[in-house]
Amino acid sequence: MPKDSGIGASPKRREDIRFLTGLGQYTDDISLTGETHAVFARSQVATGIIKSIDTSAAENMPGVLAVFTGDDFVDVGGNPAGWLINSRDGEPMKEPKRPVLAHGKVRHVGDAYAAVIAETAEQARDAAEAIEADIDEQPAVVDMKSALAGGALVHDEIGTNQCFDWGWIEDNRAATDAAIKSAPHVTTLELVNNRLVPNAMEPRASTGVFDPGTGDYTLYTTSQNPHLTRLLICAFVLGIPENKLRVVAPDVGGGFGSKIYHYGEEALVLSAAKKLGRPVRWTASRSESFLTDAHGRDHVTKIEIACEKDGTFLAFRTETMANVGAYLSNFSTATPTFLHGTLMAGNYTVPTLYVNVKAVFTNTAPVDAYRGAGRPEATYSLERAIDKCAQELGMDPLALRRKNFIKPDQFPYAAAAGLEYDTGNYHALVDKLEELADLSGFEARRAATKATGKLRGIGVNTYIEACGIAPSNLVGVLGSRVGLYDAATVRVNATGNISVMVGAHSHGQGHETAFPQVVADMLGIDEGSIDIVHGDTSKIPFGMGTYGSRSLAVCGSAVVRATEKIINKAKKIAAHMMEASEQDVEFSEGQFSIAGTDKSVGFGDVALKAYIPHNFPIEDIEPGLEETAFYDPANFTYPAGAYACEVEVDPDTGKVTIDRFTAVDDFGNVINPMIVTGQVHGGLAQGIGQALLENCTYDENGQILSASFMDYAMPRASDLPLYTVDHSCQTPCTHNPLGVKGCGEAGAIGSPPAVVNAVINALHSGGHTDVTHIDMPVSPARVWAAMNS
């Protein structure tokens, strides 16, 4: 019987009530007395020199209160990159300043060079159009290869468009080169990991408030990590003391990475609020989101797999160009390096590998972590290439993978890409996949499809990811400028109900429901009496936020540690109440008792006693029952999975239809299976979207071509199948107290290669054996072109 509460149960989500009744409070839903509206003037050219900006007409427009340009922010700091990456030769990466508003030069379409504050948003928009900017358009740098070849520069002051040229692991380079040179078989594949626009359904929004009486600022903003945003604004950009800025991320309508980062609009509304003494709000239109949200992926990669004739892997080597866009976003240098190169060994016992990544500035929107962040790129390169390798060797693709899997008894396993996987069982995942996806029934289904004139194909792959980001000691060595622990405070109120203040931020992940399940299990009390508080720097101790499938593994572990502290203190109080020794107190199912006696007090009585400390040994026990814990993980966690996709291809139109998709994942222990399944569903839709539909493209002049939902194909209900999802193969994480690994990104990481492998398989079955690869998105036009080339 499934449990109906606590760890492993699937209670209905409590946050759903407000979302289903229209009572959610997203940033743009908050209106404040005296509020004003900001609108940005944005570059319409990919790059150009700002010769002059005349704001006089705009300033005299109805309702206009202030106009800002880059000149107003020359004395404040830039928005920094969070990771310092060194090139292979030891040179630190190039870090050009990213200003609040463009100054001197605009560098991508949408780059803001001025902002208008007015009484209404439409007045501000009218005035923004009246700003006369003389911008001398310059040749745009768009294609990465040309960007590296010389010519026009995105940032003149750094003298190059290359941010860094990174090698991983440099010491393995010679051995890898040698292995590839002498290998009996080498598979080579060149591929593009297409640029994506995250498109959380809630566009970014920020409202700045300044209280002249106290000097305190408040920022309401669409953030996955309000403390990180506060740190960036205070320590790097505006120099506001951290204790004078409160950042509130209320209900947030999805993030997928794009709302991790600090953006200039946040600094602008705060500065403007101070200048005007009135709240200043801004909400992006979807068109602005396309131009200015951090995009994802955008890698061009060549991968080589060296192996024996029997398929035993000998070495992997990749060369990648990674687009970082016009400016370095906060995680942009970590994403193509330590979230990508370190995963290149996959689930395999390959003895050596070498990854080279050149990060390239272009006149496009910044590119940063998007659901999966580097790991989808690694998985796609490797798992596509392995499929090609299997075809070249005449091997079954799953058999080739099985042959090279790390075996269950080899864990912990030091993989060739430098990470130590603590646990896993990849053979079990594939066994489960074969069963659930009914792989043995595929040929019959293929025959049935053939009778309809279509081509059926199957694609399989596995993946490994590193989640639970991240052990601060390790990431510090790797260049991170922050720690990646998390924090929680458990506050037991006098009447026994509990507030848990967490550093993770829930914007769809269901923390408000799942985290209480953990605390309720530990304390033996009703989870309905436990509330989660998140998203407000004035209420929570600290937190690095939600991304990298880290919330439960890192912040959840902090919740466990804080709850353990609560139990320890409550035991002292209980011992005092029962006039017993603390060592004799046992705690179970919400009751403190003394072994061998009938003495017992309930958790609620202890909580009350903590706040009414009459006759309290105050020299031994402080009043109150509230504990905080910071948790820093000992290692990454390593979710893994095996996926299968079956497609039907219409040979007349090239249209690919997904008939069935099976995802088998090992997330370790699972707290709320319903929520975990939902996370996988969402990840699958984004991965399938990348594989079949989504593509952000710029023309040679740097104009974005897919600038709205009219041209950027978002997955819709009719594009997707029902999924079969399983997470019963569990090898619990060995180093965090819950044994959990993280589930948020898996679907987006594991699914793209399965889809493309399936399409290639289908085409081969139709006789198109010369088609060895089609770049994503595998659109009807591309499939048809491949079949008719």
Site residue total, other proteins (CB under 8 A): 81
Site for other proteins in 171-190 (CB under 8 A): none
User: Interface with other proteins by CB under 8 A: which range of 105-113, 148-156, 470-478, 774-782?
Assistant: 774-782
- Compute the distance between CA of residue 526 and CA of residue 714 in angstroms, rounded to an integer: 41
* Phi then psi dihedrals of residue 16, to 5 deg: -60, -30
Q: Is the dihedral of CA 511, 475, 665, 412 positive or negative?
A: negative
610, 576 Cβ separation under 8 angstroms: no
Site for other proteins in 731-760 (CB under 8 A): 747
Identified binder of other proteins from the candidate list 72, 95, 126, 626, rule CB under 8 A = 126
- Compute the distance between CA of residue 225 and CA of residue 646 in angstroms, rounded to an integer: 38
- Compute the distance between CA of residue 221 and CA of residue 120 in angstroms, rounded to an integer: 19
Q: Which is nearer to other proteins, 545 or 747 (CB)?
A: 747
Q: Which is nearer to other proteins, 72 or 694 (CB)?
A: 694
730 contacts other proteins (rule: CB under 8 A): no
Where do we find the tokens 């659930």? Answer: 436
Q: How far is the CB of 37 from other proteins (least distance, A)?
A: 11
- Compute the distance between CA of residue 500 and CA of residue 491 in angstroms, rounded to an integer: 6
720 contacts other proteins (rule: CB under 8 A): yes
* Phi then psi dihedrals of residue 583, to 5 deg: -65, -20
User: Interface with other proteins by CB under 8 A: which range of 57-65, 231-239, 418-426, 773-781?
Assistant: 773-781
Indicate the pairing of strand 280-283 with strand 36-42.
parallel
Bond before 294 cis per omega within 30 degrees: no
Identified binder of other proteins from the candidate list 236, 313, 426, 723, rule CB under 8 A = 723
Write out the two tokens for 310: 């029997």
User: Interface with other proteins by CB under 8 A: which range of 82-90, 451-459, 554-562, 706-714?
Assistant: 706-714
Classify 208 as helix, strand or coil: strand
> Residue 423 is which amino acid?
T
User: Interface with other proteins by CB under 8 A: which range of 199-207, 315-323, 385-393, 594-602?
Assistant: 199-207
Q: Which residues of 615-654 are buried (b: 16+ CB within 10 A; e: fewer)?
A: ebeeeebeeebbbbbbbbbebbbbbbbbbbbbbbbbbeeb
User: Interface with other proteins by CB under 8 A: which range of 340-348, 404-412, 478-486, 690-698?
Assistant: 690-698
User: Interface with other proteins by CB under 8 A: which range of 46-54, 130-138, 447-455, 506-514?
Assistant: 506-514
- Compute the distance between CA of residue 288 and CA of residue 40 in angstroms, rounded to an integer: 10
- Compute the distance between CA of residue 680 and CA of residue 675 in angstroms, rounded to an integer: 9
Identified binder of other proteins from the candidate list 24, 351, 483, 604, rule CB under 8 A = 24
* Phi then psi dihedrals of residue 614, to 5 deg: -70, 140
User: Interface with other proteins by CB under 8 A: which range of 56-64, 345-353, 401-409, 679-687?
Assistant: 679-687
Q: Which is nearer to other proteins, 607 or 743 (CB)?
A: 743
- Element (H or E) spanning 599, and its range? none
Q: Which is nearer to other proteins, 427 or 681 (CB)?
A: 681
17 contacts other proteins (rule: CB under 8 A): yes
Binding mask 615-654 for other proteins (x = CB under 8 A): -------------------------------------xxx
706 contacts other proteins (rule: CB under 8 A): yes
286 contacts other proteins (rule: CB under 8 A): yes
21 contacts other proteins (rule: CB under 8 A): yes
Identified binder of other proteins from the candidate list 573, 684, 733, 754, rule CB under 8 A = 684
Site for other proteins in 76-95 (CB under 8 A): none
- Compute the distance between CA of residue 196 and CA of residue 179 in angstroms, rounded to an integer: 35
Write out the two tokens for 58: 């705009």
Identified binder of other proteins from the candidate list 320, 364, 461, 686, rule CB under 8 A = 686
DSSP state of 279: -
Site for other proteins in 252-281 (CB under 8 A): 252-254, 256
Identified binder of other proteins from the candidate list 95, 251, 521, 745, rule CB under 8 A = 251
439 contacts other proteins (rule: CB under 8 A): no
- Compute the distance between CA of residue 241 and CA of residue 33 in angstroms, rounded to an integer: 25
User: Interface with other proteins by CB under 8 A: which range of 149-157, 378-386, 587-595, 707-715?
Assistant: 707-715
DSSP state of 764: H
